[in-house]
Amino acid sequence: MIDNLIGGIARQLHERFGETYTIYQDQIPQGFREPCFFLMMIGTSVSPIPNGRYAGKYALDVHYFPKRKGKHGELFSMSEQLMDLLECVTLLDGTKSRGFNLHSEVADNVLHVLAEYEIRWADSVPQDMMEQVDVTTNTQKGERNGSKGKN
């Protein structure tokens, strides 16, 4: 599911910003060229829900390295664009996920835009469901409201 989310975000970044910006997903190589993006998963949790389904929460940090250092106007402009893009992401499988808790900060001349996503999916192995259940109930003669009466 993580690859589905990160791949979807990378595709949307490429569609919006084109070939001018390199998008790194696993690691940033030494001597990388700016401007570029780096997508980093910073936290995950998965919880089972009924009927063989799961709910996953994913926290992501999109780093933006600007071409020119010290241009805070460029960073804040990019922050608005990224938060708009991350608000609704189309995953690689075509499903959509809405980002929440979006916020940004600048540290060491790098923009960090953080977002969280909750994604639900079904287990790939179908669960066996009961086809038919027979229930037989008996009552004792003279029983009222769960207590025995005298005959």
- Domain of 19 in residue numbering reads as 2-122
pLDDT at res. 142 = 56
Assigned domain for 147 exists = no
Integer Cα distance of 84 and 87 in angstroms:
5
Query: Would you give the DSSP letter of residue 134?
Result: -
Assigned domain for 111 exists = yes
pLDDT at res. 124 = 66
- 117-137 average pLDDT score: 71
CATH number at residue 59: 3.30.2000.10
pLDDT digits (tens, 9 = 90+) for 9-26: 999 999 999 999 999 998
pLDDT at res. 7 = 94
Assigned domain for 82 exists = yes
Assigned domain for 137 exists = no
pLDDT at res. 138 = 72
Cβ within 8 Å of residue 65, ≥6 positions away: 32, 34, 35, 36, 37, 38, 110
Assigned domain for 113 exists = yes
- 71-84 average pLDDT score: 91
pLDDT at res. 147 = 47
Beta partners for 96?
90
Assigned domain for 129 exists = no
Is residue 85 pLDDT above 80, yes or no? yes
Assigned domain for 13 exists = yes
Q: How many domains does the chain have?
A: 1
Assigned domain for 30 exists = yes
Both tokens of residue 144?
A: 């009222």
The rounded radius of gyration (Å) of the Cα atoms in the chain is 26
Taking a C-beta distance cutoff of 8 angstroms, is the pair 80, 103 a contact? no
pLDDT digits (tens, 9 = 90+) for 94-121: 999 999 999 999 999 999 999 999 988 8
